[in-house]
């Protein structure tokens, strides 16, 4: 059996390719060739740009495949390019759901529309759904959240890891670091996609949210990272978003608009429901959070981004410790000022009675 993997060298690509081989497929990797992964270098690679119809057609020629997994490039080109190439397509796109009062977003909940890329994501899903309805191919589409794990193009965990390596122990966080954001470890995301390979009819025509079953706060991720590195004297210093500019890096990847507008990132929860994937595909995390974080931290300790290099530029974190210290000092001065202000205080009493002996009956 032949499988075409468009992309395949990204963070979840290698685990997906590995899973295809375990299932008896012969994967062919189609990508630009800008990034390679040692684990899959021995496989056949087609080096063309998947963002254009003419280059895709050139790379594919007259070949056919039993299944196509499209995780990169312009997915809206797939109906015209893959007609006759494969009867089975599994695609991967983004999420872009609106926040709905801190509730997990289901597959049919409202999508964001305040950025042209968000609109493109939704339009592309509509194009793919129509291709399935028209019988061009049997489609299953997955919506990835922000992933974490090895080989990220913009490794958000590096902001924490580098600060810890540099001896930072006081961390500026927004709103106590309590924001919840659904994310997926790379192996868990790959597992979700492979479930659709196993269930082509059960997943036919469906779109699924992808996320780990457990969602941790920013503070949880920081404290877990520190513990993995053997550090236990971490202090979280909470700033309101408007005043916590050195902590704005926590918002990287959550929105495509805030950093260019000069506004603080949102600290609203960004949650995804995976109930549909669990119910229909039998999904459950194959890697738990603690193991996933350990593997992530160990990867970046062994593959450290160059200070000021491309990976650090992609996450946009300036690592401006002098400025961070100035903000932390201003925070301490503010707290000291507040402590000096007179206030009556809160005098709370538990509302239920705590009798020291049996009470007399009030019945007449």
Q: Give the model confidence (pLDDT) of 79-89 as tens digits.
A: 999 999 999 99
Q: What mean pLDDT comes out for the span 207-220?
A: 98
The pLDDT score that the predictor gives to residue 362 is 60
The pLDDT score that the predictor gives to residue 130 is 98
Identify the H or E element spanning 77: none
Judged by DSSP in three states, 208 sits in strand
Which residues are within 8 A (CB) of 3 and not within 5 positions of it... i.e. 6 or more apart?
20, 25, 26, 27, 28, 65, 66, 67, 68, 69
pLDDT over threshold 90, residue 257: no
The pLDDT score that the predictor gives to residue 86 is 98
147-184 pLDDT, tens digit each: 999 999 889 999 999 999 999 999 999 999 999 999 99
In a domain, 24, yes or no: no
Number of domains observed in the structure of the chain: 1
In a domain, 353, yes or no: no
Torsions phi, psi of 104, nearest 5? -65, 135
How sure is the predictor about 361, in pLDDT bands with cuts at 50, 70 and 90?
low
In a domain, 26, yes or no: no
Which residues are within 8 A (CB) of 123 and not within 5 positions of it... i.e. 6 or more apart?
76
The pLDDT score that the predictor gives to residue 302 is 98
In a domain, 177, yes or no: yes
Which residues are within 8 A (CB) of 153 and not within 5 positions of it... i.e. 6 or more apart?
10, 11, 311, 314
Its domain, for residue 174, covers 87-331
60-74 pLDDT, tens digit each: 999 999 999 999 999
Q: Which of 229, 245, 217 minimizes the C-alpha distance to 318? A: 245
In a domain, 281, yes or no: yes
In a domain, 62, yes or no: no
pTM: 0.94
- Token code pair at residue 181: 């954001």
d(CA 237, CA 244): 10
Judged by DSSP in three states, 5 sits in strand
Percent with pLDDT over 70 in the chain: 99
Q: What mean pLDDT comes out for the span 106-113?
A: 92
Pick the more confident residue, 349 or 338. 338
pLDDT over threshold 90, residue 114: no
CATH number of domain containing 291: 3.40.50.720
Q: What mean pLDDT comes out for the span 109-130?
A: 92
The pLDDT score that the predictor gives to residue 326 is 98
d(CA 271, CA 275): 12
Question: Distances in Å between the alpha carbon of 298 and those of 183, 228, 253?
Answer: 19, 9, 22
How sure is the predictor about 34, in pLDDT bands with cuts at 50, 70 and 90?
confident
The Cβ-side half-sphere exposure at 76, using a 13 Å CA radius, reads 10
In a domain, 95, yes or no: yes
In a domain, 63, yes or no: no
The pLDDT score that the predictor gives to residue 364 is 52
Mean pLDDT over all residues of the chain?
A: 94
The pLDDT score that the predictor gives to residue 363 is 59
287-341 pLDDT, tens digit each: 999 999 999 999 999 999 999 999 899 998 999 999 999 999 999 999 999 999 9
């Amino acid at each position: 059996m032949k499988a075409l993997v468009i992309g395949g060298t990204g963070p979840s690509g290698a685990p997906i390719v590995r899973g295809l081989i375990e299932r008896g497929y012969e994967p062919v990797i189609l990508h630009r060739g800008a990034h390679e992964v040692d684990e899959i270098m021995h496989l056949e690679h087609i080096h063309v740009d998947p963002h254009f119809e003419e280059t895709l057609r050139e790379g594919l020629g007259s070949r056919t495949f039993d299944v196509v997994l499209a995780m990169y490039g312009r997915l809206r080109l797939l109906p015209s390019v893959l007609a006759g190439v494969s009867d089975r397509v599994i695609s991967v796109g983004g999420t872009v759901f609106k926040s709905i009062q801190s509730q997990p977003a289901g597959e049919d909940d409202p999508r964001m529309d305040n950025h042209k890329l968000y609109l493109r994501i939704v339009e592309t899903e509509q194009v793919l759904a129509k291709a399935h309805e028209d019988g061009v191919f049997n489609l299953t589409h997955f919506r990835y959240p922000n992933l974490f794990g090895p080989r990220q193009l913009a490794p958000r965990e590096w902001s924490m890891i580098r600060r810890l390596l540099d001896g930072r122990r006081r961390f500026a966080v927004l709103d106590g670091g309590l924001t919840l954001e659904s994310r997926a470890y790379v192996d868990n995301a790959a597992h979700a996609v492979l479930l659709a390979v196993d269930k082509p009819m059960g997943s036919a025509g469906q779109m699924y949210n992808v996320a780990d079953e457990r969602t941790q706060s920013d503070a949880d991720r920081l404290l877990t990272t520190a513990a993995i590195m053997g550090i236990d004297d971490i202090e979280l210093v909470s700033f309101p978003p408007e005043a916590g500019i050195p902590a704005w890096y926590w918002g990287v990847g959550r929105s495509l608009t805030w950093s260019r507008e000069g506004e603080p990132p949102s600290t609203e929860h960004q949650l995804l429901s995976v109930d549909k994937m669990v119910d229909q595909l039998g999904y459950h995390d194959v890697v738990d959070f603690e193991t996933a974080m350990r593997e992530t931290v160990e990867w970046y300790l062994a593959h450290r981004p160059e200070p000021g290099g491309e990976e650090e530029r992609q996450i946009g974190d300036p690592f401006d410790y002098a400025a961070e210290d100035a903000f932390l000092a201003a925070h301490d001065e503010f707290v000291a000022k507040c402590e000096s202000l007179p206030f009556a205080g809160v005098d709370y009493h538990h509302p239920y009675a705590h009798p020291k002996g049996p009470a007399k009956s009030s019945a007449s």
